[in-house]
Amino acid sequence: MTTTATPLLEVTGVTMRFGGLTAVNDVSLTVGEGEIIGLIGPNGAGKTTFFNCLTGLYVPTEGAVRYRGTLLPPRPHLVTQAGIARTFQNIRLFANMTVLENVLVGRHSRTKEGIFSAILRGPGYHRAEAESREKAMELLAFTGLADKADHLARNLPYGEQRKLEIARALASDPGLLLLDEPTAGMNPQETRAAEELVFAIRDRGVSILVIEHDMRFIFNLCDRTAVLVQGQKIVEGDRETVQNDERVITAYLGAPLEGTTPAVTETDQ
C-alpha cells in the first residue's frame, strides 16, 4: 500500500438531508493512493446515499468532496471526467446491448471526438473507435469476459454481470473506483474471485472505496474500514479496531455481547 500526504479523496463534513430526515450526518473520510477502504453499516445506515453524494447524484446539504485536492462539481459526468467511477447496488447494465457495447459506453467520457467527427466518420473518428474497442477488449480480458464480448448483457450469469459493470466503470480510466456491494448475490467461489479482482484493480493503480455486507470479504480486503450507523460515522480503523468496538456490535446485534464478532447480512437503502 502506498499513501501520500494529500489524500486522493477527501470528504469533509458531508451531510445530506431530505426534508426533516438526515440520511448522512457530518461524515468525513479520506482515501489515499493505493488504498482499499471499506464502508459498512446496518440496513438504512446511509452508505449508498453517501456514495451518491460523492458521485454527484446528490448535492450534499453541507460539506465538501475533493478529489486530488480539487472540489468536485455536483454533476455525475464531471465527477467521472475528474477520475471517479462507480458501480451500483442494483446492477445497471444496458441489457439489450452486447457486453462489448456496454464497456464502450463507459469509454465515452475519455473519447475526444465530437459530434461532427461522428457524423463525418473521418480518420479521427475511426482511430478513436479502434482505440476504444482495443481498450474495451483489454478490460474484458482483465475481468474474464473476453469470450462473452458479443453476448447480450442480459444473458450473462449474475456474477458475470457484476464483473461487466466493473469493466464498464474501469473503461473511464478512474483513479478511484467506488463499488456498491460488489458481491451481493454471489456464492463463496464468486466472492473469492471478486476479492482477487479487487486486488488486481488496486495493482493497476486504482484506489477503491467499497460498500459490502460480507464482513469476511471486507476485512480480508480493506486497509481501513469505516462504520456508518444512522448516517453517522461511529468508528474507523483496521479489522481489530472495528470488530472490537462495542458501538459496532450494538449497531448490528442490538446489544453488546462480550466476545462476539458480528456476522452480518444487510441491504442498504
The confidence score (pLDDT) of residue 264 equals 42
Interval 39-82: pLDDT, tens: 999 888 999 999 999 999 999 999 999 999 999 998 999 999 99
pLDDT of residue 185: 84
> CB-based contacts of 183: which residues, under 8 Å, 6+ apart?
162, 190, 191, 194, 212, 214, 217
In this predicted structure, the answer to whether residue 240 has a pLDDT above a threshold of 80 is: yes
pLDDT value for 260: 39
How confident is the model over 95-102, as a mean pLDDT? 94
Whole-number Å distance between alpha carbons of 39 and 218: 8
Mean predicted lDDT score pLDDT of the chain: 87
Q: Which domains does the chain have, with CATH numbers?
A: 1-74+208-269 (3.40.50.300)
pLDDT (mean) for 248-259: 63
Q: How large is the average pLDDT for residues 131-135?
A: 90
Cβ-based neighbour number of residue 212 at 10 Å: 26
Look at residue 114 in the predicted model and tell me its pLDDT. Answer: 46
In this prediction, residue 117 carries a pLDDT of: 46
For residue range 156-169, list pLDDT tens digits in order.
Answer: 999 899 999 999 99
Residue 118 has pLDDT above 70, yes or no: no
Q: What pLDDT score was predicted for residue 253?
A: 64
The radius of gyration of the chain from alpha carbons, rounded to an integer in Å, stands at 19
pLDDT of residue 213: 87
CA–CA distance, 9 with 54 (Å, rounded to integer): 9
